[in-house]
Structure 1
Amino acid sequence: MMFDGRIALITGGAGGIGRATAHALAREGATVVLAGRDLTALADAVKEIGSGRADHVAADVTDASSAAQMVETVVARHGGLHVAVNNAGVLGAVGPVADIDAGAWDEVLAVNLTGVFLSMKHEIAHMRGHGGGTIVNVSSNIGTHGRRPALAAYAASKAGVGVLTRTAALDHIADGVRINAVSPGASDTPMSLLPGESREDRAERMRTAAPSGRVAETSEVAAGILWLASDAASHVAGHDLVIDCAATA
């Protein structure tokens, strides 16, 4: 198993891509710690995976002290941290740039960009002093790779994650910490649903809206994350793996 004996932290681990990644890592031998703000959803995810392979910790990645405590708790409970997947994110403010509320803008950047920075800051601080590790940040194909009307805050935050990932990779590869990103397209999560849209409606829309004719399964995105975090990608750092089946080709 690729991650036998390793401790993995997943922010935003209660649902969607985070939850699928937690399942995949656990199947490959990792002990997974799911972090987030919804304790009920986190506990449900841990139960689904199995308490012997999973744990959860309350964390708000927009808060510096909470992000630090998150990593400290993982290390204290499990003896180390070898893999981190920074997945917590929100769609947030939607609308033309001139109409976006400044507070809504701040919230999107706080979760999607500052949250990744704060999480990485403390993950790296532990890893570089304990033999290294791997980090995968979840970005988006909206941002650096493509844009959509009315999603300026989201696009800007995710483009920032891409640049932050590459810079951090340069800063810390000599410390034994490999840092990469994945940029999924529309996936089978609530974020890909339009207001009032059902999953069936989305499936019909995507038949013509996506080159593949469908959204990605969360397990397909998780597979890319696992590869980047694994020893199979041992010479890959500073990479942004787009998983959108040619949507932004």
Structure 2
Amino acid sequence: MSQRKIAVVTGAGSGIGRNAALALAKKEFVVVLAGRNEQTLKETAALAGGAQTLAIATNVTQPDSVAQLFEKIKTAFGRVDVVFNNAGTSAPPVPFEELTAEQWNAVVAVNLTGAFLVAQAAYRVMKDQSPQGGRIINNGSISAHVPRPNSAPYTATKHAITGLTKSLSLDGRKYNIACGQIDIGNAATTMVSKISTGAVQANGSLLAEPTMPVDHVGEAIAYMAGLPLETNVQFMTVMATAMPYIGRG
């Protein structure tokens, strides 16, 4: 069994998940890369150079798939020390009255139910392992605080992640399980590429918004992950300094 700390990153095939996985690998974590696309997970693993990684194709919306992920991790490494609960999706930015139930349910399935399933599976491992405990870091987003126009499913699920984070922080205390949340604003990934050319504002206008290098997000997550379990970053907001967050609404 490995003596190095084991970190699990969901949505590790691209964007913030990939960057977080690489940042954790640099901090000498063994990184388990979870996501639906096995090919992009392998690409992340290749970018990690000689770091120890394990790519496991996983659909976070499926309880059996999540259970298999953590069984494979236990078999390979014997424990789980850190989980970055990152997998997420969004609905098309259509007017609220035009949202379909299918669009709503698809976002809830990944962003909320998926986060719950991964957190619960990790929690069970962390509770039972020796030494007991571990850390769960949830990806909240600026939308856990304030919405963009036409973003009800995403915003609602990210507000719910804050409730999940607080509940896990309380319930995990007796098992030495820490839970924190990182809320990220305008990191330069393909998901937010349109923001730098023009994002819809509350008054309906288009505004090109500042972005920040995604590397700063990975560094922040690695900092949270590297703390001893008696210390926790409960909530962290990392964002482009000049983005319209303060004053947005």
What residue number does 1:227 align with?
223
Alignment of 1:1-249 (within 5 A): 5-50=4-49, 52-130=51-129, 131-143=132-144, 145-194=145-194, 201=197, 209-210=208-209, 214-231=210-227, 234-236=230-232, 239-244=234-239, 245=241, 247-249=244-246
Structure 1, residues 142-185: CA drift from partner, whole Å, max 9, x if none?
13x21111111110011111111111111112111100110101
Asked if the contact 1:93–1:154 (Cα under 8 Å) also holds between the matched residues in 2, the reply is no
Letter matched to residue 215 of structure 1: T
Q: Which range moved further: 88-97 or 55-64?
A: 88-97
**What is the aligned-residue RMSD (CA, Å)?**
2.1
Tell me how far apart the structure 2 counterparts of residues 117 and 158 of structure 1 sit (CA, whole Å). Answer: 12
Asked if the contact 1:227–1:233 (Cα under 8 Å) also holds between the matched residues in 2, the reply is no
**Which secondary structure state, in structure 1, belongs to the residue aligned with residue 237 of structure 2?**
strand
Superposed structure 1 runs of 4+ greater than 4 Å apart: none
Tell me how far apart the structure 2 counterparts of residues 234 and 175 of structure 1 sit (CA, whole Å). Answer: 12
TM-score (norm 1): 0.87
Asked if the contact 2:176–2:229 (Cα under 8 Å) also holds between the matched residues in 1, the reply is no
Q: Shift of the alpha carbon at 1:232?
A: 5.5
Structure 1, residues 161-212: CA drift from partner, whole Å, max 9, x if none?
1111111111112111100110101111122133xx8x7x469xxxx754xx
Tell me how far apart the structure 1 counterparts of residues 161 and 83 of structure 2 sit (CA, whole Å). Answer: 15
Q: 1:121 to 1:139 in 2, by over 3 A?
A: same
Tell me how far apart the structure 1 counterparts of residues 229 and 117 of structure 2 sit (CA, whole Å). Answer: 25
Tell me how far apart the structure 1 counterparts of residues 70 and 167 of structure 2 sit (CA, whole Å). Answer: 21
Tell me how far apart the structure 1 counterparts of residues 44 and 219 of structure 2 sit (CA, whole Å). Answer: 18
TM-score (norm 2): 0.87
Structure 1, residues 105-138: CA drift from partner, whole Å, max 9, x if none?
0000110111100000000000011111111011
Letter matched to residue 168 of structure 1: L
**Which secondary structure state, in structure 1, belongs to the residue aligned with residue 18 of structure 2?**
helix
Q: 1:220 to 1:141 in 2, by over 3 A?
A: same
Asked if the contact 1:35–1:58 (Cα under 8 Å) also holds between the matched residues in 2, the reply is yes
Letter matched to residue 66 of structure 1: S
- Structure 1: any 5+ residue segments left out of the alignment? none
**Which secondary structure state, in structure 2, belongs to the residue aligned with residue 179 of structure 1?**
strand
Letter matched to residue 20 of structure 2: T
Q: 1:226 to 1:233 in 2, by over 3 A?
A: farther
Q: 1:223 to 1:202 in 2, by over 3 A?
A: farther
Structure 1, residues 61-111: CA drift from partner, whole Å, max 9, x if none?
001111111111111112221111011001223212111011010000110
Q: 1:142 to 1:40 in 2, by over 3 A?
A: same
Asked if the contact 1:135–1:178 (Cα under 8 Å) also holds between the matched residues in 2, the reply is yes
Tell me how far apart the structure 1 counterparts of residues 89 and 212 of structure 2 sit (CA, whole Å). Answer: 18
Q: Shift of the alpha carbon at 1:53?
A: 1.2
Q: Number of paired residues?
A: 234
Identity across the alignment (%): 30
- Structure 2: any 5+ residue segments left out of the alignment? 200-206
